[in-house]
Amino acid sequence: MKMTGAQIVFESLTREGVNVIFGIPGGAILPLYQTLPEYPNLRHILTRHEQGAAHAADGYARVTGKVGVAFGTSGPGATNLVTGIACAQMDSIPTVFITGQVGRAAIGKDAFQETDIAGITLPITKHNYLVMNASEIAYTIKEAFYLARTGRPGPVLVDIPKDVFVEQAEFEYPETVDLPHYNVQPAIKTEALKQAAALIKDAKRPLILAGHGVIISHAYNELRELAEKTGIPVITTLLGISSFPSNHPLCVGMPGMHGMAYASLAIDEADLLLGLGMRFDDRVTGDLKTFAPNAKIIHVEVDPSEINKNKHATVPLVGDLKTVLQKLLPHVQPKTHPDWVKRIDVLKKEHPPVRSIAANGMRPQAILQTLSKETKGQHVIVTGVGQHQMWAAQHSTFVNPNSFITSGGLGAMGFEVPAAMGAQVGRPDATVWSICGDGGFQMTMSELATIVENNIPVKFAIFNNGFLGMVRQWQDIFYKKSYVATNYTRNPDFVKLAEAFGMPGRRVARQEDVLPAIREAMAHNGPMLLDFMIPQEENVFPFIPAGQSTAQLMEEPVEDLAHGG
Amino acid sequence: MAAEYKTIVSLVRDRPGVLTRIASMFRRRNFNIISLAVGQSETKGLSRMTFVVDGDDATIDQVIKQLRKLIDVVSVEPIGDRTMVARELALIRVTATSATRSEITQIAEIFRANVIDVAPDSLIIEVTGDEDKVQSLKSLLESFGVREMIRTGRVAMERGLALDSRRNGKTTIPQA
Pairing of strands A68-72, A95-101: parallel
The DSSP call for residue A28 is G
Q: Which residues contact A31 (CB under 8 A, 6 or more apart)?
A: A4, A5, A6, A162, A165, A166
For residue B154, give how far its alpha carbon lies from the nearest alpha carbon of chain A (Å).
Answer: 25
pLDDT score for A359: 52
Do residues A199 and A36 make contact, with C-beta atoms less than 8 angstroms apart?
Answer: no
User: From B75, which residue of chain A is nearest by alpha-carbon distance?
Assistant: A181
Q: Chain A residues with CB inside 8 Å of B74's CB?
A: 181
The C-alpha atoms of residue A213 and residue A325 are separated, in whole angstroms, by 12
Do residues A166 and A4 make contact, with C-beta atoms less than 8 angstroms apart?
Answer: yes
DSSP one-letter string for A384-405: -SSHHHHHHHHH----STT-EE
C-alpha closest to that of A527 among A508, A506, A504: A504
The C-alpha atoms of residue B45 and residue B51 are separated, in whole angstroms, by 20
Q: Would you call B58 and A308 a contact, using CB atoms and an 8 Å cutoff?
A: yes
C-alpha closest to that of B53 among B62, B44, B45: B62
The C-alpha atoms of residue A297 and residue A273 are separated, in whole angstroms, by 5
The C-alpha atoms of residue B168 and residue B54 are separated, in whole angstroms, by 30
Beta-carbon-side half-sphere exposure of residue A181 (alpha carbons within 13 Å): 22
Q: What is the model's pTM?
A: 0.95
pLDDT score for B161: 62
Chain segment B126-155, per-residue pLDDT in tens? 999 999 999 999 999 999 999 999 999 999
Beta-carbon-side half-sphere exposure of residue B175 (alpha carbons within 13 Å): 6
- Cα A181 to Cα A42, A45, B174, distances in angstroms: 33, 37, 8
The C-alpha atoms of residue A426 and residue A420 are separated, in whole angstroms, by 10
The C-alpha atoms of residue A363 and residue A264 are separated, in whole angstroms, by 24
Q: Is A113 a catalytic residue?
A: yes
DSSP one-letter string for A302-364: S-GGGTTTSS--SEEEES-HHHHHHHHGGGSPP---HHHHHHHHHHHHHS-SSS-STT-TTSH
Q: Chain B residues with CB inside 8 Å of A104's CB?
A: none
Q: Is A50 a catalytic residue?
A: yes
Pairing of strands B155-158, B84-95: antiparallel
Do residues A565 and A363 make contact, with C-beta atoms less than 8 angstroms apart?
Answer: yes
Do residues B159 and B83 make contact, with C-beta atoms less than 8 angstroms apart?
Answer: yes
pLDDT score for B168: 46
Burial (Cβ within 10 Å: 0-12, 13-18, ≥19) of residue A9:
buried
CA B175 to the chain's CA centroid: 28
Do residues A521 and A459 make contact, with C-beta atoms less than 8 angstroms apart?
Answer: yes
Q: Compute and round to an integer the Cα radius of gyration of chain B.
A: 19
Above 80 in pLDDT, residue B30? yes
Nearest CB to A180 within list B16, B69, B172: B172
Nearest CB to A181 within list B20, B61, B75: B75
Whole-angstrom distance between the N-terminal and C-terminal Cα of chain A? 68
List A162, A311, A322, A348, catalytic entry: A162
The DSSP call for residue A489 is T
- Cα A278 to Cα A92, A284, A331, A483, distances in angstroms: 11, 10, 22, 35
Above 90 in pLDDT, residue B99? yes
Q: Name which of A92, A122, A127, A132 to mutate to probe chain B: the one with the most chain B Cβ atoms within 10 A of its Cβ.
A: A122
pLDDT score for B2: 47
The C-alpha atoms of residue B84 and residue A342 are separated, in whole angstroms, by 57
User: From A184, which residue of chain B is nearest by alpha-carbon distance?
Assistant: B69
* ipTM for this prediction: 0.92
Measured N-to-C along each axis, helices A416-426 and A50-64 cross at an angle, to the nearest 10 degrees, of 50
Q: Would you call A178 and B68 a contact, using CB atoms and an 8 Å cutoff?
A: no
In the three-class reduction of DSSP (H, G, I as helix; E, B as strand; rest coil), residue A37 is classed as: helix
The C-alpha atoms of residue A133 and residue A116 are separated, in whole angstroms, by 17
User: In what side-by-side order are the strands of the sheet with A43-46?
Assistant: A43-46, A20-23, A68-72, A95-101, A155-161, A127-130
C-alpha closest to that of A408 among A255, A291, A283, A550: A283
Strands (E) located in A232-328 = 234-236, 251-253, 272-276, 296-301, 315-318
The C-alpha atoms of residue A429 and residue A407 are separated, in whole angstroms, by 23
pLDDT score for B80: 87
In one letter, which amino acid is A102?
Answer: V
Do residues A418 and A440 make contact, with C-beta atoms less than 8 angstroms apart?
Answer: no
User: Which residue positions in chain A have pLDDT lower than 50?
Assistant: 560-565
Nearest CB to A179 within list B16, B71, B75: B71
Average pLDDT, chain B: 90
The C-alpha atoms of residue B32 and residue B125 are separated, in whole angstroms, by 30
Query: Residue A85: what are its φ and ψ, rounded to 5°?
Result: -65, -45
Q: Is A162 a catalytic residue?
A: yes
C-alpha closest to that of A94 among A59, A62, A67, A121: A67
In one letter, which amino acid is A280?
Answer: F
| CA angle (B13 as vertex; B7, B17 as ends), nearest 5 | 95
The C-alpha atoms of residue A369 and residue A357 are separated, in whole angstroms, by 10
pLDDT score for B167: 52
Q: Any idea of the CA torsion for A31, A32, A38, A39, to the nearest 10 degrees?
A: -170
User: From B72, which residue of chain A is nearest by alpha-carbon distance?
Assistant: A181
For residue A174, give how far its alpha carbon lies from the nearest alpha carbon of chain B (Å).
Answer: 12
Q: Is A470 a catalytic residue?
A: yes
Burial (Cβ within 10 Å: 0-12, 13-18, ≥19) of residue A225:
middle
Residues of B with CB under 8 A from a CB of A: 16-17, 20-21, 24-25, 27-28, 58, 61-62, 65-66, 68-69, 71, 73-75, 172, 174-176
List A34, A112, A168, A333, catalytic entry: A112
The C-alpha atoms of residue A282 and residue A286 are separated, in whole angstroms, by 5
